[in-house]
Structure 1
Amino acid sequence: MKIGIRKEDKSVWERRVPFVPADIRALREEGLDIAVQASDQRAFSDEEFSREGIPVQDDLEDCDLIFGIKEIPKAVFEAGKQYVFFSHVIKGQPCNMPMLKRMMEQGVTLFDYERIVDEQNRRLIFFGRHAGLAGMINSLWALGKRLEAEEIPNPFGVLRQARDYHDLAEAKAGIQAVGKMIREQGLPAAIHPLIVGITGYGNVSKGAQEILDLLPVREIQPEEVSAVAADLLSPKKAVFKVVFREEHCVRPKDPDAAFDLQDYYKNGREKYDSCFEPHLKHLSLLVNCIYWDDRYPRLITLETCQQMWAGGKFPGLRVIGDISCDPGGAIQCTVASTDPGNPVYVYLPETGERQDGFEGHGPVIMAVDILPTEIPRESSVYFSSVLKGFIRNFAEADFTVPFEALNVLPELKRSVILYQGRLTPDYGYLRKYL
């Protein structure tokens, strides 16, 4: 089976690769036949692949198993082939249903990275940490720009967007320099105390915290937020960090019931209400790192935004870094996703409109939906290091047998959304979206 690595064409900003040159060279030395489609926008150039002895070709017509990163245009699919990429169809996303229908018509097999999971439904291949890294860099950059728009001098104004740094090391050095300024000069009174709230504690949150912790950070607990916000005499040479878990964001509707995580996962908003709103007025920056779907209460509703900014009020919350980027989801004022070329907008609660840039009566929303591509080399190296452990099992599978007889690792079999053009049993529910 010949393997092809396709070029990315969903967005001009997508620069990641599923396999980096060094890993492909090692796999070819083990006997796998792998070629790369030519691309002029990858973080790894065609020349870098060629130097490793990897064929670079204009198309992948002679390849049977094709790896990519993002969604693939409908016209590209070739009958009977196998594709592996982030398809973003498992929620029945309307924008991707035409693509799924085309794949069914072509009789292809679809593996989705997002559904390569273990027995506990934990994802095994992901860009989560790198989304968190880039997302926090962008959020701090956006905070600096918003404060400048308010004519408030601040140390964050020297920061750049993640994509404008040469690499992650340079970005981290920039954050550390800001940290040094805060330790030496302190924060301006207009933004003191500066409290950064982070929702979630998984890989995305860990990446975001890795960046924030380069500053002089004092971690506080959610129950301490209001007291810290009221203490104007607290040290100005520190940034306060608070991490919110599920039990800090929701509470049982039954006042006599205790919070139970598994019960919350099972019943969601049927039995739980949001209790996150009181924290919002105390935060300067909110960074959202949680998975959400409509079974659960939102963190911020449009009504909450209207109340916070009503009557010309200016709450302390300047920026929302919505790393999870689920428009209309947990952060309902994330009304649209953005791209690295135009990464932020201001949500205007009084009109429900959005306004590009940093100025306007409402929160700045940073909602880039392909954040890891802003640090493309580092994120690709990590992704490739994990994915290469599965590729031989992909390549040696017999895709002519019935799905029940398909001999691939259980982790891979769970990720098969289409097999020979038909929805597999775990994904039959998608028919209602088609």
Structure 2
Amino acid sequence: MGATIGIRREDKNKWERRVPLVPADLAELQRNHDLDFIVQPSPIRVFTDADYVGAGIKVQEDLTAADVVVAVKEVPIDMVQEKTVYLCFSHTIKGQDYNMPLLQRCLDVGATLIDYERIADEQNRRLIFFSLHAGYAGAIETLVALGSRLEQQGLTTPLLDIKHAYEYASLIEAENHLRRIGERIKVEGLGPMQEPLIIGVAGYGNVAKGCDAILSCLPVREVPVADLAAAAKGSTKDYGPLVKVVFKEKDLVETRSNEAQFVLQDYYQRPENYRSVFERYLPHLDILLNTIYWTSDYPRLVTRKWVKANYGPRKTPRLKVIGDISCDIEGSIEVTLKAPMPEAPCYVYDPESGEVTDGTAGVGPVIMSVDNLPCELPRESSEHFSTVLREMIPALGQADFAGDFESLHLPSHLKKAVITHRGGLTPAYRYLQEYLDKATS
């Protein structure tokens, strides 16, 4: 028998019911490759212990015999053992301080850490992700929040009938329900509203594609950014009840030099040469869905300063709800202050105190910033993820991780995702040493 691969149960919170590999895919891998699998038992997983046993997969608590441990979320520090390979979303590549102890543990015991976020093709396009399902669930939760905020403002609309994503038995059920609500909106409109509700989507990647799939269930008309102001002032008779506008990088920023022009690759490589102009669009939006990848090098979309200037007594800003699907705390949406669980997905940011209150009632904008949104659609998100991951497992099982990094034979898309190996940071991730040093200073 070749390598033994362990599947760790997810236990970060009660909502984490996803799996990295579904029973049918493990059965196929075990049947056609020289691999053995061990799955940890779980009382909450969407695919039960019985599902795995029925597929011929061993279910047991002890994973110490595993050469490779596969998980969704990061592995607990006390589980990381010597010279074992760990594949997960490690949440370390930005130098996140809360996971520097995990990174240090991998270095201390000579474990190999591979991060899904860095598995990418030659153009650095990610190959495996839950992003699409984050978009599905995030759009649904944001629409739920909008229906609630409108009710707070005295407007009862069909949006109130949308359920939380986790309350649907499946994604298909959710989409069918939304289509029925969409038909009602076509007939009934959105109550007394004479202007369309404007939905801004920042980004156009996989998360945005998930959002678009949900929004397409409703009578939504897309307009270009250039027509946003006109649509916001227009009537439902001319534009329909719901209008969507998609913002790309060139819409978010301008060059600091009057003589320079926007160049996408230059923006990626030298973001300091650009400043945000996104605030010019905010007065025209009812909803903002934030789907962009962000680091502190890049300008923000929404700042505390803008919120304080536009919300408060005798102020009636149009922007009601921000669905911060990217959920970077105090990041591109600076008033995203926490990552709530799905049972209470929203809070209102107070522009004066800077504090937040759960729910949708209050003076400031509603923020929806659940950071584990795919958990609300655990079966579909797991099946999608497993379909991609199963193609990578044989290479991991066949690789000899005993040698140094240079001699490690892995497909390029996997090798570029190796963060630690045999006690050291791999060349592409040596920048993380600075964060490790800060964590111990």
Q: Give the TM-score, by structure 2 length.
A: 0.96
For 1:165-206, what per-residue CA distance to the aligned partner results, in whole angstroms no more than 9, with x for missing partners? 111011111211110111111122347310100000111111
Aligned to 2:412: 410
Aligned to 2:202: 199
For 1:97-135, what per-residue CA distance to the aligned partner results, in whole angstroms no more than 9, with x for missing partners? 111112222221101111111121111111111111111
Whole-angstrom CA distance in 2 between matches of 1:76 and 1:10: 14
Aligned partner of 2:189 among 186, 192, 199:
186
Whole-angstrom CA distance in 1 between matches of 2:311 and 2:82: 53
Answer yes or no: is the 8 Å Cα contact 2:198–2:242 preserved in 1. yes
Answer yes or no: is the 8 Å Cα contact 1:184–1:237 preserved in 2. no
Aligned to 2:129: 126
Map 1:82-231 → 2, pairs under 5 A: 82-190=85-193, 192-231=195-234
1:363 aligns with 2:365: yes
1:243 aligns with 2:254: no
Q: How far apart are residue 325 of structure 1 and its match?
A: 0.7
Aligned to 2:37: 34
Aligned to 1:397: 399
Deviates more, 1:335-344 or 1:243-252: 335-344
Whole-angstrom CA distance in 2 between matches of 1:141 and 1:25: 39
For 1:53-81, what per-residue CA distance to the aligned partner results, in whole angstroms no more than 9, with x for missing partners? 11111221221110000012111112211
1:281 aligns with 2:280: no
Aligned to 2:334: 332
Whole-angstrom CA distance in 2 between matches of 1:30 and 1:335: 47
Map 1:375-394 → 2, pairs under 5 A: 375-394=377-396
Whole-angstrom CA distance in 2 between matches of 1:272 and 1:407: 40
Whole-angstrom CA distance in 1 between matches of 2:87 and 2:273: 38
Aligned to 2:52: 49
Amino acid at match of 1:252: T
Q: How far apart are residue 388 of structure 1 and its match?
A: 0.7
Aligned to 2:81: 78
1:305 aligns with 2:284: no
How much is the aligned-residue C-alpha RMSD, in angstroms? 1.3
Q: How far apart are residue 148 of structure 1 and its match?
A: 1.8
Aligned partner of 1:291 among 290, 293, 314:
293
Q: Which runs of 5+ in 2 are unaligned?
A: 437-441
Q: How far apart are residue 274 of structure 1 and its match?
A: 1.0
Aligned partner of 1:6 among 5, 8, 17:
8
Whole-angstrom CA distance in 2 between matches of 1:246 and 1:351: 32
Amino acid at match of 1:411: H
Distance 1:233 1:424, change over 3 A: closer
Structure 2 SS opposite 1:392: helix
Answer yes or no: is the 8 Å Cα contact 1:10–1:73 preserved in 2. no
Whole-angstrom CA distance in 2 between matches of 1:147 and 1:421: 55
Aligned partner of 1:65 among 68, 83, 93:
68
Amino acid at match of 2:397: A
Answer yes or no: is the 8 Å Cα contact 1:248–1:276 preserved in 2. yes
Answer yes or no: is the 8 Å Cα contact 1:187–1:237 preserved in 2. no
Whole-angstrom CA distance in 1 between matches of 2:424 and 2:259: 48
Whole-angstrom CA distance in 1 between matches of 2:87 and 2:319: 40
Answer yes or no: is the 8 Å Cα contact 2:144–2:164 preserved in 1. yes
Answer yes or no: is the 8 Å Cα contact 1:134–1:374 preserved in 2. yes
Answer yes or no: is the 8 Å Cα contact 2:290–2:323 preserved in 1. yes
Q: Which runs of 5+ in 1 are unaligned?
A: none
Whole-angstrom CA distance in 2 between matches of 1:10 and 1:233: 45
Structure 2 SS opposite 1:346: strand
Percent same amino acid at aligned positions? Answer: 48
Amino acid at match of 1:100: L
Amino acid at match of 1:312: R
Q: Give the TM-score, by structure 1 length.
A: 0.97
Whole-angstrom CA distance in 2 between matches of 1:358 and 1:196: 18
Structure 2 SS opposite 1:59: coil
Structure 1 SS opposite 2:338: coil
Q: How far apart are residue 271 of structure 1 and its match?
A: 1.7
Whole-angstrom CA distance in 2 between matches of 1:399 and 1:234: 64
Amino acid at match of 1:23: D
Distance 1:151 1:273, change over 3 A: same
Q: How far apart are residue 415 of structure 1 and its match?
A: 0.6
1:254 aligns with 2:257: yes
For 1:323-345, what per-residue CA distance to the aligned partner results, in whole angstroms no more than 9, with x for missing partners? 11111111111111122122111
Structure 2 SS opposite 1:195: strand
Q: How far apart are residue 421 of structure 1 and its match?
A: 2.6
Amino acid at match of 1:42: R
Structure 1 SS opposite 2:230: helix
Deviates more, 1:133-142 or 1:96-105: 96-105
Answer yes or no: is the 8 Å Cα contact 1:9–1:72 preserved in 2. no
Structure 2 SS opposite 1:333: coil
